[in-house]
Amino acid sequence: MSSFWANTLQDTVRNSERISRFPSRNRDAESWLMQYLESAPTSTNQGTAELPFQRWFHFKEAFSPKFVADTLSSLSYPVNTCLDPFSGSGTTAITCRMLGIKSVGVEVNPFLADLIKSKLVRVPIAEFCKNYESLISNLEVLSEDEVLAAGMPVTFVEPGKNSRYIFNRDVYSVIRAVLRASKSWDVDQSRLLRVLLGSVLVQNSNVVINGKGRRYRRNWQLRTKTGADLIKSLDAAVDVAAADITRFSGLPESEFVLHQGDARSALSLIVEADVAIFSPPYPNSFDYTDVYNVELWMLGYLESSSENRSLRSKTLRSHVQTKWTPTISRVRSKSLDMAVSALEAKRGELWNVNIPEMIRFYFDDLWSIFYELKRILKIGHHAIVAIGDSQYAGVHVDVAKILSECVEGLGFKLIQNESMRSMRNSSQHGGSLSLSEHCLVFERVQG
């Protein structure tokens, strides 16, 4: 498989020729792939703002459908089942659906799990739209909708805390009223509406979201968002979803299995797959539970601070916002030892003193993922990982080198390391484009 990435990132073979290998012969599916694959970047989700299904919710951390399609088309063996242990917004699953391949995945975030299911589970769209029109026409805000939900942080609705709040009361109450009214719907339609409602929450709020969490908009106190604005944006989201579902109604029923939970344990439920394609959280100390905090709380996925802590504890140990329980390391890597030692020597310069421990925990967790992949994947098959480096106090964490050393003892050999793009350092390191994002191809070998 020495020519793996030559077939994907550099060769001049037309995408249409590569796509023809797969079971899907649906014209709409081919159109979906060709619309994006011709000029799309490989690593990031850039360029999917108008791609059906992917446009339902902006997911900054996603890799691209091109990454999945190019990878699958370059394998030397047939793929019946593709595994993604960190499913995110469902890029692997929706691309596999278009290609006629079964997908199996794991996702710890319940909102994102519902986002994936809403893309893959067939909904009678005419009935859904009829139900939605009826819901909006008869929507009534009750007193219970105006009150802060039990367990929810007080900052979610005005007056908030210290006069700071995420939603104006009118917007908040309409969101709650829509959720309450949709509870009587069947589970698939209710899920789709909840996801579409989630897709318009932030734009109707007083905050913006980035990798480090949320911050208040400039001059947010002057914003005059109303419940009518919320409904207008939800109408638009429903129209987009309805158009996509209608256009692709001829696709065969999607074959997928999604396990909701911690990938470190949920992978034990998966018996086999032909290939694994995934992008785990990077060791950049982004708390992805916090990134989707607005959707999780407002849509009712979280109802208490203890549930929030529990969800955080089920994520990869890639950030310091949670106090992690130390575990016995099973990883053997000289490069990891050197990086951790260098970080410990600069502990006083780090923005958080627990970063050295976090880095070691992170690779312990990735080791546990590959421990399960050893059982799931056959010898000669592959785990393809999109992953990025990190840097703290001038100490470079070479993720590709460290990970290859960590999993070598499990019977995985790194056969390709392709740099896909440069990532920007944090502002505390100058904000320069000095970190690499890699595509790592590991082959399951005897061992």
Q: Residue 213 pLDDT > 80, yes or no?
A: no
pLDDT given at position 70: 87
What's the confidence (pLDDT) of residue 64?
84
The verdict on domain 5-109+255-286+304-444 having CATH code 3.20.20.140 is no
The tens digit of pLDDT for each residue in 296-351 reads 999 999 999 999 999 999 999 999 988 888 888 899 999 999 999 999 999 999 99
Instruction: Please state the domain extents for the chain.
Output: 5-109+255-286+304-444, 125-247
What percent of the chain is modeled with pLDDT above 70?
A: 87
| 287 pLDDT more than 80 | yes
Q: What pLDDT is attached to residue 1?
A: 40
Contact by Cβ (8 Å): 55, 246 = no
How far is the C-alpha of 127 from the C-alpha of 260, rounded, in Å? 28
Which tokens is 3 given? 């020519």
What tens digit of pLDDT does each residue of 74-99 get? 999 999 999 999 999 999 999 999 99
Residue in the block written with tokens 């969490």: 213
Query: Is residue 54 over pLDDT 60?
Result: yes
- Return the pLDDT at 321: 85
- What is the band of 197 on the pLDDT scale with cuts at 50, 70, 90? very high
Residue of 446 and 219 predicted with greater confidence: 219
- Confidence at residue 188, expressed as pLDDT on a 0 to 100 scale: 98
User: CA 286, 288, 289, 291 torsion: positive or negative?
Assistant: positive
419-433: per-residue pLDDT in tens? Answer: 875 544 444 444 444
Q: Which residue has the higher pLDDT, 11 or 259?
A: 259
> Which residues are within 8 A (CB) of 412 and not within 5 positions of it... i.e. 6 or more apart?
370, 373, 374, 383, 442, 443, 444, 445
Mean pLDDT for 110-131 is 97
Give the pLDDT score at 50. Answer: 84
What is the reported pLDDT for 288?
84
pLDDT at 388 over 70: yes
pLDDT in tens, 139-156: 999 999 999 999 999 999
When comparing pLDDT for 364 and 44, which is higher? 364
Q: How far apart are CA 351 and CA 341, in angstroms?
A: 17
Structure tokens at 172: 């908040």
Output the pTM of the full model: 0.91
Task: State residue 193's pLDDT score.
Answer: 98
- What's the chain's average pLDDT? 89
* pLDDT of 434 over the 70 cut: no
Query: With left for phi above 0 and alpha for psi between -120 and 50, is residue 11 left, alpha or beta?
Result: beta
Name the token pair of 422: 């440069």
- At 243 the pLDDT is 97
Res. 18: pLDDT tops 90: no
184 exposure class (CB count in 10 Å sphere: 0-12, 13-18, 19+):
exposed
Q: Give the highest mean pLDDT range of 5-9, 22-26, 35-39, 195-199.
A: 195-199
Task: Look up residue 121 and give its DSSP letter.
Answer: S
Strands (E), 197-337: 207-210, 213-216, 256-260, 275-278
pLDDT attached to residue 139: 97
Note the pLDDT of residue 281. 92
What pLDDT does residue 66 have?
85
> Given a cut of 50, is residue 164 above it in pLDDT?
yes
